[in-house]
Amino acid sequence: MTTTQESPTAAGSGANASENFKASASSQEIADTPPERVAAIVTDVLKGVHDAIAKHDVSYPEFQAAKAWLMAVGEGGEWPLFMDVFVEHAVEAQVAASQQGTKGSILGPYFLPDQVRLGSTCKLPRRDDEKGTPLVLSGQVRDLDGTPLGGAEVDIWHADADGYYSGFAPHVPDGNLRGVVVTDDEGRFAIETVQPAPYQIPTDGPTGQLIGAAGWHPWRPAHLHIQVRAEGHRPITTQLYFAGGEWLDSDVAEATKPELIIDPQDDGTGIRRSTYDFVLESA
Ligand code: MBD
Ligand code: FE
């Protein structure tokens, strides 16, 4: 078979993010939702399911196929992947409605806490033979009123030039292309890394099988994940995308926003450079 890029296996690309989610669940905010609200939300979710069954005259074999698929998602550890690809953008839109400053985007399943802390001008950890076009992202973190935020944390993680994430794809060393960059006194940072590739949902796992069965495509455009944190300020979780990049207009996770597209330019030495400033709201 000749394809420009091999389809990643679910295990190889790290679709199984369940263990990471469970391990980080203590640091994540898990709601203690009152019964009336649980009832109200779940009633509407179930009504959506019941309505779809009636509308499409769903058969018993289709109902059993759905159960088998749901079991496979759990057994394959793909609930974080499925939820973040197909549901998280709707939650993020609710949060975004009340957040000023830099636009947010979804966290996704591949964030890892406690990565190496780096100075304001830095190079992300990478392999000696790391593939990919050099990329430098620089900018400033500021308050809504323009005050530079020194000592802010720019937590960045992204896929490599083949679309794989460290910590999830077994062949990529831990910590690769991840770091917590601390801004200087003027809130500035300059991060050297490599251009990531688009991300393909693994086609052999249940999420990929659903995508195939529905005739959709399994791609996210190339992106950098970034979470910016500063004392006394509301953190922002976002992603940056690349102008002209493939899948920008049809992200399977529906997580792109026009304000989050950068357009790095070659500086004449083969390094692509872009600036992006992050603006945080006071907490
Ligand atoms: C990703 O890399 C990602 O960012 C999201 C949101 C879902 C799946 C893979
Ligand atoms: Fe991602």
Calculate mean pLDDT across residues 14-19: 85
With a CB cutoff of 8 Å and minimum separation 6, the contacts of 219 are 198, 199, 200, 201, 246, 247, 250, 251, 252
Q: What is the pLDDT of residues 171-221, one digit of tens each?
A: 999 999 999 999 999 999 999 999 999 999 999 999 999 999 999 999 999
Q: Which residue has the higher pLDDT, 29 or 127?
A: 127
Distance (Å) from CA 147 to ligand 1 centroid: 32
CA-closest residue to ligand 1 atom 3? 108
Distance (Å) from CA 129 to ligand 1 centroid: 25
**Percent of the chain surpassing pLDDT 90:** 89
Q: Can you name the residues that pair with 191 across neighbouring β-strands? A: 122, 137
Q: What is the pLDDT of residues 60-96, one digit of tens each?
A: 999 999 999 999 999 999 999 999 999 999 999 999 9
Burial of residue 189 (CB within 10 Å: 0-12, 13-18, 19+) is: buried
Calculate mean pLDDT across residues 142-162: 98
Q: What is the pLDDT of residues 231-246, one digit of tens each?
A: 999 999 999 999 999 9
**DSSP string for 66-123:** HHHHHHHHHHTT-HHHHHHHHTHHHHHHHHHTT--SSPP----TT--SSPPEE-SEEE
| 108 Cβ inside 6 Å of ligand 1 | yes
**Percent of the chain surpassing pLDDT 70:** 96
Q: What is the pLDDT of residues 41-64, one digit of tens each?
A: 999 999 999 999 999 999 999 999
Distance (Å) from CA 177 to ligand 2 centroid: 12
| 279 Cβ inside 6 Å of ligand 1 | no
Closest atom of ligand 1 to 255 CA is 6
Phi, psi dihedral angles at 211 (to 5 degrees): -60, -45
Closest atom of ligand 1 to 88 CA is 6
Task: Write down the pTM of the prediction.
Answer: 0.95
Distance (Å) from CA 226 to ligand 1 centroid: 13
| 226 Cβ inside 6 Å of ligand 1 | no
Calculate mean pLDDT across residues 262-275: 98
